[in-house]
Amino acid sequence: MKRRVVITGMGAVTPLAVGVEESWSKLCAGESGIKPITQFDASSLKCQVAGEVRGFRAEEFLTPKKAKRTDRFVHFLLAAAKMALEDSRLLISPDEEYRTGVIAATAIGSCKTFEANHELIIRGRMKNVTPYLVINLSANTAAGEMAAMCKARGTHHFLQEACSAGTNAIGLGFRAIIHGEAEIMMVGGADAGISPTLMASLDNLGAIATSWNDQPHKACRPFDKRRNGFVTSEGSGALILEELDHAKARGAQIYAEILGYGSTCDAYHAVAPLPSGEGAVRCMELGIEDAGITPHDIDYINAHGTSTVANDETETIAIKKLFGPGAKEIAISANKSMIGHMWGAAGAVEGIFTAKTLQEGIIPPTINLDEPDPKCDLDYVPHNARRNEVRIALSNSFGFGGINASIVFRKYEA
């Protein structure tokens, strides 16, 4: 019999709030976390807005020494992991340590620490460069910090897989339990890439929204005719995955069940999706096949929905190809319309929100969908959240390099 995997703990740091419940509440209310950039002077950039995490204090989650020595993305990752552990009420016994694993992920990594120390070198202050720079640049050490929280000594990986990293962390954690490598997996993703260098690069790439500096909350508008790029943001998400019998034996709360996982590569372009959508189609198809269900069983899709012209059109094409006439009957929404693109954290946070949709029967809206693109003609739950029971949901991430990942979640039923 196939082992079953459930979610028993969740933690998140988002542009909406520090914590899952407040972030979820604001998401369902259609509140935007996109605001003017405050971390540096962005006046010379074409895009001057981002999804910054505000009100976060690393010292609430880390010792002052560790906070000083580690990058902001590590702060976010460890904060989310700590919240997820506390939420799960998980106490790992010594004989379970090697049956507990960690898979963490990022896209950008420790860019802020690198920029700050490079600036010291430019100023001739090489002796002031932190000896911990190399540890921060070896971003996998962040996963080691997660493992140390609960003495997770089992299977251990760190992914750097662009926009699909967080979803792949969940999927590979799911597989580790399915294949008997672990009973418990702590998985998550984090990024903190709102920096002058990264933003200048994205400006020059032409990938981010540039028309809404005076109205930041309208900048991210997936599937809307006036979309012209994504909005970069920061934060983290972490989940505790457990084998079902293990979770039931300790009386754990269960948010949702993970049924299947699929991943593919477009093998096409560094940033553009395969126009035919075939890579995304096969990715979703693999996840559905792995779950042992059919496309007809999917009630809701948490779309990648970045607000770029190519991505939104291609994702729509892919959904139509896979679901056929039934595509128009599926509720689809894009969390990024409110939280922006959290890079390697996106899939982890969207996985958390998908679990909440299943648990509470609320589908978050896609805000800013004021003038739908005629090429994007599906049900994207515009403007307002929708109360509707969802039994099985699909969460998509399609990243730079053509990396695609899809997870199938089910409402938990004992």
Residue 28 resides in a domain: yes
Active-site residue set:
163, 304, 341
- Which of these, 368, 147, 342, 185, lies nearest to 261 by C-alpha position? 185
Q: What is the reported pLDDT for 359?
A: 97
- Which of these, 184, 178, 104, 124, lies nearest to 152 by C-alpha position? 184
Among 200, 228, 249, which residue terminates a domain? 249
Tally of domains in the chain: 2
Residue 333: give its domain's CATH number.
3.40.47.10
Among 214, 249, 284, which residue terminates a domain? 249
Tokens 């029967």 sit on residue: 361
One domain for residues 99 and 218 = yes
One domain for residues 164 and 268 = no
One domain for residues 186 and 291 = no
Q: What is the reported pLDDT for 117?
A: 79
Q: How far is residue 11's CA from residue 217's CA, in Å, rounded to a whole number?
A: 24
Q: What is the reported pLDDT for 112?
A: 87
One domain for residues 285 and 166 = no
One domain for residues 175 and 318 = no
- Which of these, 287, 305, 252, lies nearest to 394 by C-alpha position? 287
One domain for residues 41 and 116 = yes
Q: What is the reported pLDDT for 169?
A: 98
Among 249, 275, 310, which residue terminates a domain? 249
Q: Which domain holds residue 128?
A: 5-249
One domain for residues 112 and 231 = yes
Residue 256 resides in a domain: no
Residue 52 resides in a domain: yes
Residue 255 resides in a domain: no
One domain for residues 24 and 150 = yes
Q: How far is CA 139 from the centre of its chain?
A: 17
Q: What is the DSSP letter of 366?
A: B
DSSP assignment string, 214-280:
T-GGGS--TTBTT---B-BB-EEEEEEEEEHHHHHHTT----EEEEEEEEEE--S-SSSPPTT-HHH
One domain for residues 99 and 169 = yes
One domain for residues 241 and 312 = no
How would you write the pLDDT of the chain (414 residues) with one tens digit per residue?
A: 789 999 999 999 999 999 999 999 999 999 999 999 999 999 999 999 999 999 999 999 999 999 999 999 999 999 999 999 999 999 999 999 999 999 999 999 888 888 887 888 899 998 998 888 888 888 889 999 999 999 999 999 999 999 999 999 999 999 999 999 999 999 999 999 999 999 999 999 999 999 999 999 999 999 999 999 999 999 999 999 999 999 999 999 999 999 999 999 999 998 888 999 999 999 999 999 999 999 999 999 999 999 999 999 999 999 999 999 999 999 999 999 999 999 999 999 999 999 999 999 999 999 999 999 999 999 999 999 999 999 999 999 999 899 999 999 999 987
One domain for residues 218 and 295 = no
Q: How far is CA 57 from the centre of its chain?
A: 21
Q: What is the reported pLDDT for 76?
A: 97
pTM metric for this prediction: 0.96
One domain for residues 182 and 241 = yes
